[in-house]
Amino acid sequence: MSGGVDSSVTAKLLTDKDYDLSAVFMRNWDTRDESGSDHGCEWEKDWEDVRRVCGVLDIPCKMVDLSREYWTRVFEPSLKSWESGITPNPDVWCNKEVKFGALLDRLTEDPGLSNTPWLATGHYANKDWKYHNGVPRPRLLRPRDVTKDQTYYLSSVPERSLSRAIFPLGSIKKTEVRELAVKWNLPTAARQESMGICFVGEKRKFHDFISQYIPPKPGPIIDLETGLQVGEHAGPWNFTIGQGAKVKGLKEKTFVVKKDIPKNIIYVVPGTDHSALYAQSLTIRDWTWIWADSPPIELMRPGGLKARIKFRHVMSDIGCSVYSDNDCIRIDFDEPQKAIALGQVATIYIEDWCLGCGTIVEVA
């Protein structure tokens, strides 16, 4: 449980079923690393809300400190990616490495649990089982409320962990969740939805946060069309492809189109629809199929696998052809796509079925 309305309603739904139920709150970020004190930090409020809800529902709860695992498995790799100029997605890797990784391992080793635990979360996602070669295997599916679809963030979760996952909100719309919370008089019914990277929070700007860990590295901002310097940046990690460059003194707004990391140069173009912002294909490395031993056979065929792809959470999936290219996956879009950054996570779907994900390493 996170302390939000989604996990609170999830807990209430499960109390109505025949489960041996207990709640766990993950503490992932240690604010002492930044301020030297825990006083006034947001995890305390979240933990208090979890305890209040569990008190109403009469279920036991405990806190598990996974801040060390989060630091080493998620934050440090993300920090290295930002420093090298690429755009990682920590929330995707958090689900794989921490929630469905370190936490599930910790619960499995818990001597107080007599059976292998199942992990229910407040994610908007569905799961079913499909027979493959005579064996039932779990499939990660989109939820009923496609506007809140969180399968993108779950796309790196391995089959072993997915098989032990439960998603009670998969068949419920977000508006209905809020209505149920009010109907059941849950303490978190009026709590607002949280947004943004979990360790940055909602009250700080990314630049202010990241500057605590990466020293400034000033460099030029250059107009791709003219080759002229139009501004200066404090570090390439402060920009991602397609982002407004906010260069003062120009007649037209400019947008980041390319980053030359060895030379520490940010290139920009005028306007939001410049041709240089578009790409027709991309290459993905470190691809992970949720069914790791059973990639689609269509990958090796001349026409490739006809699928849908997302390379950002907040976007509609788009048509593409998927090919196996040595140790990489190559994607050809049905139509050119705008603002794709190296390091972003790309996820592939066949209809509602999420097959897996990988990291974008080349755009063309």
**Position of tokens 């801040």?**
67
Q: 268: which 2 tokens?
A: 């920009």
| Of 54, 94, 320, 357, catalytic | 94
Q: 23: which 2 tokens?
A: 């709640």
List the beta bridge partners of residue 27. 65
130 vs 138: CA distance, rounded Å: 6
- Are 291 and 159 spatial neighbours (Cβ–Cβ below 8 Å)? yes
Whether 54 sits among the annotated catalytic residues: the reply is: no
Identify the three-state secondary structure at position 315: coil
Identify the three-state secondary structure at position 50: helix
Whether 94 sits among the annotated catalytic residues: the reply is: yes
- Are 146 and 156 spatial neighbours (Cβ–Cβ below 8 Å)? no
In 10 A of CB 63, how many CB atoms?
Answer: 15
Number of residues that this document lists for the chain: 364
Residue 39 falls in which region: left (phi positive, over 0), alpha (psi -120 to 50) or beta: beta
- Are 322 and 299 spatial neighbours (Cβ–Cβ below 8 Å)? yes
| Of 41, 61, 198, 328, catalytic | 198
Name the CA dihedral angle for 98, 99, 103, 107, rounded to a multiple of 10 degrees. Answer: -160
Q: What are phi and psi of 329, to 5 degrees?
A: -115, 130
300 vs 355: CA distance, rounded Å: 16
Catalytic residues: 94, 198
